[in-house]
Structure formats: C-alpha cells, structure tokens
C-alpha cells in the first residue's frame, strides 16, 4: 500500500509587493494554520516516511509550523523543483520516490498540487491554502502507483472547514 499526502502551503503575505514571489512569507493566519494542521495530522495518527518540500519561504515556514505540532520524525527533503512545479514535474517526483517509503508527503504550491490531486482522484479538487489531501493506492512501487489511477481519497482537510479562522 502506498499513501501520498499533498499539502498546499499555508496563507502567505502580500503586504510587500516588491518582494520576490519565492521569498514571500506566511501571514498571521498562515502562521496560525500551520501548527493547527500539524496537530490535526497527529490527532489522526498520520505517519509519513518522507516529506518533500518546496524551498520557497512560505512552504518552509509552513513546514516549520507543521512539524513540531505533528511530532513527525520523517525525513525532510527540500526540493527546489517543487517551487511552482508543473503537473509533469510533480508526477516525476512521485514516480522517483524510493520504494522503501510507503508514505510520502509533498508540500508545495498550486496550481500543480491541485492538478495532481484532481488527476489522482479523477475529480476536481482545489487545495486551498493549508489544505491536505490523503490518497492511498495498492501498488508495489511509486511508478506503479502513478499509473494505477484513480487513487482512493482518504481525506481532504481544509483549514477553514476544520478551525475557526479569522479573516
């Protein structure tokens, strides 16, 4: 069994229009959401072998907020190619996962993550900021998992649906 978890970065700040997109930080709501999502992952006993994260600041800050609350000891691989990736890049990353990892998480950006989730589920999925979707597929390898569509969607968690969030 393979489990793939996709998480879009938490809400980012647009307060400084001169800052490069790659360097945009989380806003106050994003800094609040990330640990709440980490706690939710922990409460639901989600365990991963590896987390692959975009190197963009907002993704790194999301990861920094999620991990302590989740208390995960997963290997973290920071991947520049996950910054605003195409669907094809994401599929390549997933097929390239080491087969000893049965559960992997990607933390990154839209539109790529929502496209991958939609392809995986064979239905339209839009990942809002901070959202998590969990898929399972019975496959002996990640390569086979990517060709065994659709995947079984186990959960779709959106922060605004889980928590009282200030605007």
Contact of 60 with 78, CB cutoff 8 Å: yes
| Predicted structure pTM score | 0.95
Q: What does the alpha-carbon distance between residue 1 and residue 61 come to, in Å, rounded to a whole number?
A: 30
The fold of the 2-156 domain, in CATH, is: Rossmann fold (3.40.50)
Mind listing the pLDDT tens digit for each residue in 87-142?
Answer: 999 999 999 999 999 999 999 999 999 999 999 999 999 999 999 999 999 999 99
Mind listing the pLDDT tens digit for each residue in 10-39?
Answer: 999 998 888 999 999 999 999 999 999 999
The domain locations on the chain are 2-156
Q: Residue 165 — very low, low, confident or very high, per pLDDT cuts 50/70/90? A: low
User: From residue 87, how far is each of 16, 35, 62 by CA, in Å?
Assistant: 29, 27, 21
Cα 88 to chain centroid distance, Å, stands at 16
DSSP 8-state secondary structure symbol assigned to residue 26 = B
Contact of 1 with 138, CB cutoff 8 Å: yes
């Amino acid at each position: 069994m393979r489990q793939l978890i996709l998480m879009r970065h938490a809400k980012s700040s647009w307060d400084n229009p001169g800052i490069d997109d790659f360097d945009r930080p989380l806003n106050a709501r994003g800094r609040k959401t990330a640990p709440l999502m980490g706690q939710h992952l922990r409460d639901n006993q989600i365990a991963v072998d590896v987390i692959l994260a975009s190197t963009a600041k907002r993704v790194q800050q999301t990861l920094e907020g999620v991990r302590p609350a989740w208390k995960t000891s997963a290997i973290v691989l920071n991947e520049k190619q996950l910054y605003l990736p195409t669907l094809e890049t994401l599929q390549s990353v997933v097929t390239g996962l080491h087969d000893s990892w049965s559960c992997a998480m990607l933390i990154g950006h839209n539109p790529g993550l929502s496209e991958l989730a939609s392809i995986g589920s064979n239905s339209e999925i839009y990942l809002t900021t901070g959202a998590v979707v969990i898929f399972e597929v019975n496959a002996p390898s990640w390569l086979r998992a990517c060709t065994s569509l659709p995947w079984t969607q186990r959960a779709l968690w959106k922060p605004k649906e889980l928590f009282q969030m200030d605007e």
